[in-house]
Amino acid sequence: MALRFILLLLTACLTSMCGASQQYTLQMNIQQLKGFPTAEAGIEKGVSACFAGLIQDHLVMVGGCNFPERPAAEKGEKRYYQGIYATAVNGSDTNVWEKVGELPTPIAYGVSIVKGETLYCIGGNNAESSLNTTYAITLKGGKAEITNLPTLPAKLDNHAGCAIGDSLIVLGGNWNGHASNRVLMLELSALDKGWQQLPDFPGIPRVQPVCAFAENSICLWGGSSPRTEAQDTQLGLEGWQYDFNTATWTALPAATDNTGETVFLGGGCATTLSDGSIIAMGGVNKDIFLNAVNHPQPGYMTHPVEWYRFNRLVMQFKDGQWKTIGESEATARAGAALFTDGTHLYEIGGELKPGIRSTGIYKITIK
């Protein structure tokens, strides 16, 4: 384990010595945590698109999906999970996961948001359909308690979300099966109002975007508008910020690395640090992804992991500007869950390449 930690630390920090364009001003330490849930057959092989968060000093992981029998490249069947798992955060590098409950149905590709000591699981889909559910999960006596909250006004999956103040926000994704610009808000102190619609974000609809909160606002990047008969797939590179004071959207700069190259965050993840800055990581490579969806070729799913060039960069958005603060193979994931306890970031699962899931769980410290 110690060797693994050293190798990841070298990847994250020593890469910054490889030229002026790669000088990182912050130090990033990445520690891989051992242990992964095993109580559902197949889940031990890793999942993507799970719900996850930190509540009551426990890492909690819920649902997700994978291809446990045969890879997607060999036309394997995708399996969805419904278990709720928890492991205590106690300074150990080994997670001891316990199954503490189950969702009413298997789910992946939803949004998870932590507010207080509650993990909210919103929307998603499974092998049967997309979903409009909102679940609030708490831990009591070592078991999960699930509360049903107001349902979404449509079936929603592959969207993004975050909390701001006393409200949960979700945006983008597939709305009843169609790519969407819609934005919804649920006030936790006024549940009787249900999910309320906010102004749509501008530009193209976005499936699998990322979002995070800033001061009295939410910020959005990434995502794509799927290919249709009329046009090819389009990427959401520029960002948008919704100001709750003015109820308006304004443009934000696209994510760029330290050389000025645009970075696509679709399929990645983002969260807000205690200093108010936003951290984003992971996602697919824009050029490889676009070529694959607009000009499909035989054998696309069979290449080695390195060929897909998932985003290795860990990026910070602060004071209206992007900068790269590190890079690592550990963060080159699509469909990973990312959250923070205020001091550390935690990344769970995701895929290494299309169809191949990861059991990796990482604790990331940025100084």
Burial grade of 82 (CB within 10 A; 0-12, 13-18, 19 or more): middle
pLDDT of residue 26: 73
Largest CA distance in the chain: 56
Q: Which CATH number fits domain 43-157: 3.30.420.40, 3.30.43.10, 3.20.20.70, 2.120.10.80?
A: 2.120.10.80
pLDDT of residue 24: 65
Cα 156 from Cα 140, distance rounded (Å): 29
Give the residue carrying structure tokens 């410290």. Answer: 365
- List the chain domain ranges: 43-157
Cα 212 from Cα 200, distance rounded (Å): 16
DSSP state of 106: -
Please give the distance of CA 68 from its chain centroid, rounded to a whole number.
21
Please give the distance of CA 169 from its chain centroid, rounded to a whole number.
15
Cα 10 from Cα 159, distance rounded (Å): 34
DSSP state of 96: -
Please list the pLDDT of the chain residue by residue as tens digits (367 residues): 443 443 344 344 433 333 334 556 678 999 999 999 999 999 999 999 999 999 999 999 999 999 999 999 999 999 999 999 999 999 999 999 999 999 999 999 999 999 999 999 999 999 999 999 999 999 999 999 999 999 999 999 999 999 999 999 999 999 999 999 999 999 999 999 999 999 999 999 999 999 999 999 999 999 999 999 899 999 999 999 999 999 999 999 999 999 999 999 999 999 999 999 999 999 999 999 999 999 999 999 999 999 999 999 999 999 999 999 999 999 999 999 999 998 899 999 999 999 999 999 999 999 8
Cα 190 from Cα 183, distance rounded (Å): 18
Q: Which of 156, 272, 269, 271 is nearest to 205 (CA)?
A: 156
**Cβ-Cβ contacts under 8 Å for 354 (sequence gap 6 or more):** 72, 73, 300, 301, 308
pTM: 0.93
User: Contact at 8 Å (CB) between 306 and 352?
Assistant: no
Question: Which residues are bridge partners to 169 per DSSP?
Answer: 162, 185
* 349: alpha, beta or left? (left if phi > 0; alpha if psi -120 to 50): left
